[in-house]
Chain A
């Protein structure tokens, strides 16, 4: 399965998010996407080199794109993952919620050098953004302390957005792009460091009660 095919498939499927099956105020609609399942096992576990001087950036969506030269995301990664349910402007009281959860591990395979700092950022941008990492905003970010030689660090990033949160307007607009940027700083003692990057879970959930709002 090529990245493009996978991208297509995921994008199309996201459009199914508003299938109206029933119309009662109590009905909660949930779209759950297990995005990690769209990546192969080989892609989810990558042995990568963090180059001296540059560090390493990994861009998630539509595929996993590692950037060793600090030159930024490639053309596809700039677009990220598109969500579109545009014609349905969620009205007040629709109880729209968005949740993204991802967990990953970074193993420092080097026996001497320490990785000083790593950070994961979730970006959101308007649908027409050319480069979501430049034009978008950071919805949430978490960082880790140093990863000791031979050590492992586990990240779990959870982003929950509901009415009133920063970034909620983006979700509410019905068309937006998402991307995840993982930044691993170059080793403190100089020289390249080999790491094992593992994506463990990546799931997204979008919920709404579209009929809770009949006038």
Chain B
């Protein structure tokens, strides 16, 4: 009997402290009318919680995923031979970009990258003849962007409240986005347009990741509304962060046109920049704001992140990467970013009561560099729920969640899927959310 009594206590303490961050939504990344959506819209901070819409906490299973031979950079220090043979930057990056999910088959670098040039065009494929995907993808949760104040969401958080202010102190880690692009000009050249003088043509590829601690300070409030049946929420948030870990790799191959229309000699530029404790640091802050309006069964929200943002970093890097000696030319580098780069998200949800439960239809539309969209459906009862959703963030993703209530605990098991960077292979992941009901 003793074990039965003791087992839930530490778990209860852990969960009630809210130590872990919001989990994976289980509805294809669709934004729900729920406090967990405060990341994209601070007005949701004081929005009432509904079980199954989010709620509880996510367990960062992704950290387990980072222990694998292909995903762990730590082998570089402990077992260099294993590192050499197995480490795959793409797997590491993919797992890091999904910190709340344990990826069963993280994206793997292709065994071969085959670039075939014929008079009819150029094809970049993996060894199996699958075309390689040329595009750019935002970082973690579709809001992170390397080198800017758009940091990934907290994966471990400690929320607290003081007067009208809501605080959340936490740790963040995640991918900062990646891209592989032909410049438009180069596509023209491949179509046999002639080169122009002085213009450069290139293919570029880059990726970044970041980690550190962050502090959110949110001021949310319910706006007084004259007519009954309508609620309006507004929220403004300041995000301050200290960057402990940052890495960025970029490669570009290109040529410049010369006066006779022939390409002058080509160049390959490759650079990297990093910082970690003892080797530089960074920090910054930004302002976010959001608004939500709700009637009896319809909710609509608009969130704007990074209305203003500043980011500064001091680390080590080189613009002329030499593969034979990675330390060559590496020098202390300062970086500063204050460009206007807002992230917009509009979301809406419709609730339909159906006897013993209710049906939810939700959708959202976002913009950061590219347009993203998600949509999903869920059915909720007081003891169980099921939901499914899919989204487009320049590549396809989906997830499905099944939630069950066991006494006072809610358990939600989520299966996720997304297309791997570059190779578009289907990566499947598992996530777990746990919550405690108040009643």
On chain B, the residues within 8 Å of A7 by CB distance are 262
Binary contact track B404-439/A, C-beta < 8 Å → 1, others 0: 000000000000000000110000000000000000
Known: A18-B251, A23-B89, A89-B322. A29 touches B194 (CB 8 A): no
Q: Is the CB of B115 within 8 A of A23?
A: no
Q: Is the CB of B263 within 8 A of A15?
A: yes
Q: Is the CB of B262 within 8 A of A21?
A: no
Please, how many angstroms separate the alpha-carbon atoms of A14 and B201 in the complex? Answer: 13
**Is B267 among interface residues, defined by CB-CB distance under 8 A?**
yes
Q: Is the CB of B111 within 8 A of A16?
A: no
Per DSSP, chain B at the interface is mixed
Taking a contact as CB atoms closer than 8 A, the residue among B112, B117, B249, B323 that contacts A13 in the complex is B117
Q: Is the CB of B189 within 8 A of A9?
A: yes
Please, how many angstroms separate the alpha-carbon atoms of A89 and B320 in the complex? Answer: 11
On chain B, the residues within 8 Å of A16 by CB distance are 115, 117, 122, 203, 253
Binds B, one of A31-39, A117-125, A148-156: A31-39
Could you tell me the distance in whole angstroms from the C-beta of A21 to the nearest C-beta in chain B?
Answer: 5
Q: Is the CB of B117 within 8 A of A34?
A: yes
**Is B223 among interface residues, defined by CB-CB distance under 8 A?**
no
Known: A86-B265, A91-B323. A24 touches B119 (CB 8 A): no
On chain A, the residues within 8 Å of B189 by CB distance are 8-9, 12
Q: Is the CB of A19 within 8 A of B205?
A: yes
Q: Which B-chain residue is minimally distant from A11 (CB atoms)?
A: B263
Size band of the B side of the interface? 35 or more
Q: Is the CB of A25 within 8 A of B120?
A: no
On chain A, the residues within 8 Å of B122 by CB distance are 13, 16
Taking a contact as CB atoms closer than 8 A, the residue among B109, B186, B205, B263 that contacts A26 in the complex is B109
On chain A, the residues within 8 Å of B371 by CB distance are none
Total count of chain A residues near the partner, CB < 8 A? 52
**Is A173 among interface residues, defined by CB-CB distance under 8 A?**
no
On chain A, the residues within 8 Å of B79 by CB distance are none
Taking a contact as CB atoms closer than 8 A, the residue among B115, B194, B324 that contacts A19 in the complex is B115
Q: Is the CB of B119 within 8 A of A37?
A: yes
**Is A97 among interface residues, defined by CB-CB distance under 8 A?**
no
> What would 9 more interface pairs be, CB under 8 Å, given A8-B189, A9-B192, A215-B325?
A1-B192, A7-B262, A8-B261, A22-B422, A25-B85, A85-B253, A87-B270, A211-B89, A214-B83
The 8 A-B pairs at the shortest CB distance, nearest first, are namely: A22-B109, A91-B324, A24-B109, A23-B89, A24-B88, A15-B266, A37-B119, A20-B251
